[in-house]
Amino acid sequence: MALLSYKQLAKIDKNKYSVHRDANWTYSVFRDNCGKKYFQIDTYGSEDRKMPNKISQSLQFDEETALYLINVIKNEFNL
């Protein structure tokens, strides 16, 4: 699980890229004990894994980081 902050986000250029297989994923929204809201994405293991449909990754975003990411995506896709 990882809480992602826009402050640690950096764009890099790689020498090699590949398109990954589709994955099942869900999202949820929750508040911590102080009332701060978070958006969480969970991805699940594929059917051929040892433990299929188990959460393999969770990514959490606070509101500030979510807004930053929305703007990055808009710019990168010229939306």
Q: In this structure, is residue 34 part of a structural domain?
A: yes
State the pLDDT at residue 45. 84
Strand-pairing partners, residue 11, are: none
Which of 43, 58, 45, 66 lies closest to 1, judged by CA?
58
State the pLDDT at residue 9. 96
Q: In this structure, is residue 17 part of a structural domain?
A: no
Domain holding 56, by residue range, is 23-79
Q: What share of the chain is helix, strand, coil (3-state, %, to 5)?
A: 20, 35, 45
The number of distinct structural domains making up the chain is: 1
Which CATH number belongs to the domain containing residue 49 in this structure? 3.10.450
| pLDDT band, very low/low/confident/very high, at 53 (cuts 50, 70, 90) | confident
Q: In this structure, is residue 38 part of a structural domain?
A: yes
| pLDDT band, very low/low/confident/very high, at 46 (cuts 50, 70, 90) | confident
State the pLDDT at residue 37. 98
Q: In this structure, is residue 76 part of a structural domain?
A: yes
